[in-house]
Structure 1
Amino acid sequence: MAEPAFDAHRPPSAELLDDCVHCGFCLTTCPTYSLWGEEMDSPRGRIDLMRAGVEGAPLTTSMVQHWDACLGCMACVTACPSGVQYDRLLEQTRAQVERRAERTPKDRALRTLIFNLFPYPSRLRALRGPLRLAQRTGALGLVRKTGLVRMVSRELDVMQTLAPPLGPRATVPERTPAVGERRAVVGMLTGCVQREFFGDVNVATARVLAAEGCEVVAPQRQGCCGALSVHTGREDEGQKFARRLIDTFEEAGVERIVVNSAGCGSTMKDYVHLLADDPEYAERAQVFSERVADLSEILVELGPVAPRHPVTTDGRDVVLAYHDACHLRHAQQVVSQPRQLLRGIPGVTITEIPDAEICCGSAGVYNILHPEPATELGDRKAANIASTGAELLVTANPGCLMQISQALERAGRPVPFVHTAVVLDASISGRPLV
């Protein structure tokens, strides 16, 4: 007889699987179901496949394809009236798949490249210089026009087109003193892609926190939080990153850990589950997770003390569209706080994006591993954003910034697109954005 799909190490919980009553409320919010209308590419369909594996069915290529096709956006978690913990089930399933599934040589090579590059800031920094030079000289644009990379690999072509325009590298000092009365001492995650490709966002984050009375500690030795690894089932790797980050921030002696990347924040809040079986780190992970907060959460908790100014050149009103990053809206349930902060800026009116709960297609490295559906979702998101007529677009996740910027560019509808921290920093400093 064929081996069962799952081994004995943390298989999908039968108890959690039984919470699903197949009501179908998840269907309209699932990106892949909206694309293909295929039951096995819906949350309840994937849960059926998990249940089959738990009951002893062998692992098949079809099973793996349906689980791989999930973006892990967790819109179904928000929509589910039964409280199904699909996030936990998917994490457990993907860890099994990574241990037990036989992938094609091409897929293995691509995943090896991704996970030997993106979680390592020093390697991204080494790539940053040549990439910036290629952008400034126009060489990258010429390569794109030839279509050679696309002919070799659609996935590698996506990697090169997603890169944002790079300026001088911006860094955050290890310690930023509070402006005025100190109200809190907070640690700050600088991230991997965020640190090397969106350093301006980190600088803005530290300035905003300092302006609101926070002493900001950004340990230089911090590494990856493990989000990309955890979300794709690389459990051991994700745990190693998590342990190191816990050690780093414990040594820093901070009261809270502030995160400005939605995917990173959701994983760090989940260390309590990731390290639940680790006798040395289980309790420490619980304490750590409880201290993690998104930037918008900590700012709302503290309440504003720094003055706000308009973000337009002539002080006129501006219509702003806020894009909810999935791992902020669905995984962390942080929805009102960013909007509250943005509404505190003089002259800002927020317009909601149609079908806001549907993922833009970024989803960590999903847009590299699955470029076709990711592109279609990105184009849908760009069209919905364009329909709002907004002059400024704001989000809280670097992946969304890259994905949607490319989609807007393809549509010929570029809109200034910035991180929440950048808008707040501009408002506090009196520097216009539009």
Structure 2
Amino acid sequence: MTELSGQSSFDSHKPPARDLLDDCVHCGFCLPTCPTYQLWGEEMDSPRGRIYLMDLAERGEIGLEGAFFQHIDACLGCMACVTACPSGVQYDRLLEATRPQLERNVRRSTSDRFFRNAVFALFPYRRRLRLAAVLGLLYQKSGLPKLLERILPPRLRAAQALLPPVRLREAFATLPRRIRPSGPVRRRVALLSGCVQDVFFHEVNAATQRVLAAEGCEVLTPRRQGCCGALGLHAGREEHAVDRAKRTIATFEGLPVDAIVVNVAGCGSSMKEYVHLLADDPEWAQRARDFSAKVRDVNELLAELEPRAPRRRMDAKVAYHDACHLGHAQGVREQPRALLRTIPGLEVVDLPEADLCCGSAGIYNLVQPEPAAELGERKANNIRDVAPDLLVTANPGCLLQIRRYLGDEIPMLHPIQLLDEAINGEPR
């Protein structure tokens, strides 16, 4: 139990900054945008309520255990409040300073620690993910998922339901290390292939390479790359995030490229935040600044280029779902819509409650399955309301989360896959 002596309950390593805490005037503009406040109507499960708790902990008036821990742990980290805040409160910086404090100073239950450690022992490692893909395929074909669905505990039930459709050929496929455009080179870029993305969404990486090349980009994809640290950063595992950030910077910084392209919203958000993550490290601070300045979401980069490749007509109604770490964290909202509208015949529609998280949020739908399920159902119903022919979103976690609640009702793609079909492919 933390001693309440008037001194901060946070340790001295990067606690939430007093000036950032003082920016919040508790106006309440964040309340309608916060998923957990929408679910429960509890003040301490709103952004301003959590900032109030951080303020009390920083003053040493409450400890980090108990209610403080529970309310911070329940936050999705979707950053919708950052978009909504008229005072410019940097809740993202506050949350990313607070979560590592909890991971260092509050002991989780044995079962919670075991589950989270299992997640981080698997997801950042492509070889382990490929083995998991083989086992997952066998499991899906065994008939066990239906038998176990009702008896599994909530977290394992969520993990089972979120298993992506496994295609072993794609899970073990490799990307070309260099692709050149047929015409003049407009940009030279490097592509993050990632960990989960490379194994379970390899076709999105391949489509990204093809579209970039069609639009005049030379694409380098380093073979020796891996997890960027996004899951660890958003879960408060600072040591993991720092290690992965340094490895990623070392992999890409020597490449002669104009930009580092990412097609996963959560990864791109984290890579742009390396500048903050490593700001206090004299050896890496400048390297992180230089690296983060080059990071571009693929939609962001393509929107900077005048379309060059012809698009075939696609008469369809497409709903676009804003991934939180693309729209809120990176401010990339109009670019994906603008790119989709370059496809003749395509009608792009927005969703009701477009700013409300779908419940994926990194590993949130695994570690907090009940509220994630409520948000997933809510998002699925909002999608049904606009009756699209197709749903597109730029984050694999969102695709898996929404697929769980929509099933096969509506086809789902990454926007770059739809663009690839219009430029290079045949109709589905």
TM-score, with structure 2 as normaliser: 0.96
- Residues 219 and 252, structure 1, Cα contact 8 Å, conserved in 2: no
The one of 79, 83, 87 equivalent to 1:82 is 87
**Equivalent residue, structure 1, for 2:126:** 121
> Is 1:256 aligned to residue 259 of structure 2?
yes
**Equivalent residue, structure 2, for 1:65:** 70
Instruction: Give the letter aligned to residue 128 of structure 2.
Output: R
**Equivalent residue, structure 2, for 1:339:** 337
**Equivalent residue, structure 1, for 2:35:** 31
Distance 1:310 1:371 in 2: 40
Aligned counterparts, 1:243-392, within 5 A: 243-311=246-314, 317-392=315-390
**Equivalent residue, structure 1, for 2:412:** 417
The one of 426, 430, 433 equivalent to 2:421 is 426
Report how far residue 430 of structure 1 moved.
4.1
- Residues 139 and 145, structure 2, Cα contact 8 Å, conserved in 1: no
- Structure 2 unaligned blocks of 5 or more: none
Cα deviation code 1:242-271 (max 9, x no counterpart): 001000001333221000000000000010
Quick check: 91-100 or 422-431, which moved more?
A: 422-431
Cα deviation code 1:120-151 (max 9, x no counterpart): 1111011112222333xx21xx2122126x53
Report how far residue 185 of structure 1 moved.
1.1
Q: Secondary structure at the match of 2:374?
A: helix
Distance 1:360 1:171 in 2: 31
**Equivalent residue, structure 2, for 1:164:** 164
**Equivalent residue, structure 1, for 2:10:** 6
**Equivalent residue, structure 1, for 2:145:** 144
- Residues 360 and 377, structure 1, Cα contact 8 Å, conserved in 2: yes
Cα deviation code 1:289-317 (max 9, x no counterpart): 01000001110112211011124xxxxx2
Distance 2:192 2:333 in 1: 21
Cα deviation code 1:376-424 (max 9, x no counterpart): 1000000000000110100000000000011112xxx710100011001
Aligned counterparts, 1:235-246, within 5 A: 235-246=238-249
**Equivalent residue, structure 2, for 1:18:** 22
Report how far residue 432 of structure 1 moved.
1.2
Q: Secondary structure at the match of 2:304?
A: helix
Distance 1:126 1:87 in 2: 35
Instruction: Give the letter aligned to residue 131 of structure 2.
Output: A
Quick check: 157-166 or 21-30, which moved more?
A: 157-166
Quick check: 72-81 or 51-60, which moved more?
A: 51-60
Instruction: Give the letter aligned to residue 22 of structure 1.
Output: H
Distance 2:365 2:112 in 1: 14
**Equivalent residue, structure 2, for 1:53:** 57
- Residues 171 and 202, structure 1, Cα contact 8 Å, conserved in 2: no
- Residues 35 and 356, structure 2, Cα contact 8 Å, conserved in 1: yes
Distance 1:220 1:153 in 2: 38
Cα deviation code 1:185-214 (max 9, x no counterpart): 101001111110000000000100011111
- Residues 265 and 325, structure 2, Cα contact 8 Å, conserved in 1: yes
Instruction: Give the letter aligned to residue 251 of structure 1.
Output: G
Cα deviation code 1:345-396 (max 9, x no counterpart): 0110111100000000000000000000001100000000000011010000
**Equivalent residue, structure 1, for 2:207:** 204
- Structure 1 unaligned blocks of 5 or more: 312-316
Quick check: 182-191 or 69-78, which moved more?
A: 182-191
Distance 2:300 2:11 in 1: 39
Cα deviation code 1:54-83 (max 9, x no counterpart): 101322221111001000000000000000
Report how far residue 171 of structure 1 moved.
3.0
Q: Secondary structure at the match of 1:252?
A: coil
**Equivalent residue, structure 1, for 2:181:** 178
Cα deviation code 1:62-118 (max 9, x no counterpart): 111100100000000000000000000000000101110110001000011011111
Residue identity (%): 57
Q: Secondary structure at the match of 2:420?
A: helix
